[in-house]
Amino acid sequence: MPVLETRNLSVRYDSALILEDISLFVEEKECVAVLGPNGAGKTTLLRAISRVAPVSGSITYLGEEVSRYRAHELVKKGIVHCPEHRRLFPDFTVKENLAMGAFLRQDKAEVEADLERCYSIFPRLKERLNQMARTMSGGEQQMVAIARAIMARPRLLMLDEPSIGLAQIVKEQIFQGVAEIKQLGVTILLVEQDSNMALGIADRLYVLEHGRVAAEGTPAELSRDTHIRDLYLGI
């Protein structure tokens, strides 16, 4: 049974059809990447799954239809969305931002253990615990955003463009952290513009074009598709 499955998922804003009949699935402990050009609907897809965009169609999580739930109810169930542009609390410290990720949790001992796990994944955060988020570099802020998501104990972690606007060396640090999160057994749905970064971690790929799934498969399978390879895979 997939952790997540969408069937015929569509999103429309007034007369504009942003996503049309998106069907995809993510298995337990997989990392599935969604690639495509700007405007293809990648961010809208994650917003639809996390119930902050209007949808039609089916969203199934661990076998349960969840399209009727609200966003905060999905977080309780284990679906955690780390959005594009990070959306931190700018005047909170690093530690306070991480604490907000665990806001719904009551297991204090496990929360402390997860904090230490976040510091292990992103050691720089431990050095910056009392620093205001707004004073940090873009890469450091992205580390805080991902760590905050981990503090919610996700069963499914959705990451939207974690490397956007970052230098290559910082991208590599971010994706090393994502790889460590995957090794913890967290299922990941990743939207990413940098195809090379995505190829290094994804088990399977979906390519969106004009709001529809244009191709799907493993990195090896899609690398044999000349159109997909040349436009999106960077190989």
CB-CB neighbours of 113 under 10 Å: 11
State which H helix or E strand residue 19 sits in: strand 16-26
Give the per-residue pLDDT at 131: 95
Give the per-residue pLDDT at 45: 96
Q: What are the two backbone dihedrals, phi and then psi, of residue 121, each rounded to the nearest 5 degrees? A: -70, -45
Cα distance between residue 205 and residue 196, in whole Å:
12
Question: What pLDDT digit, counting tens, does each position of 195-232 carry?
Answer: 889 989 999 999 999 999 999 999 988 888 887 777 76
Considering only CA atoms, give the Rg of the chain: 17
pLDDT at position 168 over 90: yes
CA-CA-CA-CA torsion sign (99, 149, 17, 232): positive
Q: What tokens does 64 get?
A: 């349960």
On whether the CB atoms of residues 205 and 222 are closer than 8 A, the answer is yes
Confidence of residue 193 (pLDDT cuts 50, 70, 90): confident
Give the per-residue pLDDT at 210: 92
Q: What tokens does 151 get?
A: 């503090």
The stretches of the chain forming alpha helices (DSSP H) are: 42-49, 71-77, 94-101, 108-121, 123-127, 138-150, 168-183, 195-199, 219-222, 226-228
Give the per-residue pLDDT at 234: 59
Burial of 141 (0-12, 13-18, 19+ CB in 10 A): buried
Cα distance between residue 179 and residue 200, in whole Å:
9
Could you give the percent of the chain with pLDDT greater than 90?
75
Residue 172 or residue 193, greater confidence: 172
The per-residue DSSP string of 55-119 comes to -EEEEEETTEE-TTS-HHHHHHHTEEEE-TT----TTSBHHHHHHHHTTT---HHHHHHHHHHHH
Which CATH number does 4-87+156-233 carry?
3.40.50.300
| Residue in the structure block whose two tokens are 């919610």 | 152
Beta bridge partners of 160: 191
Average pLDDT over residues 37-59: 92
Cα distance between residue 143 and residue 137, in whole Å:
10
Question: CA nearest 46: which of 85, 89, 76?
Answer: 85
Cα distance between residue 176 and residue 232, in whole Å:
22
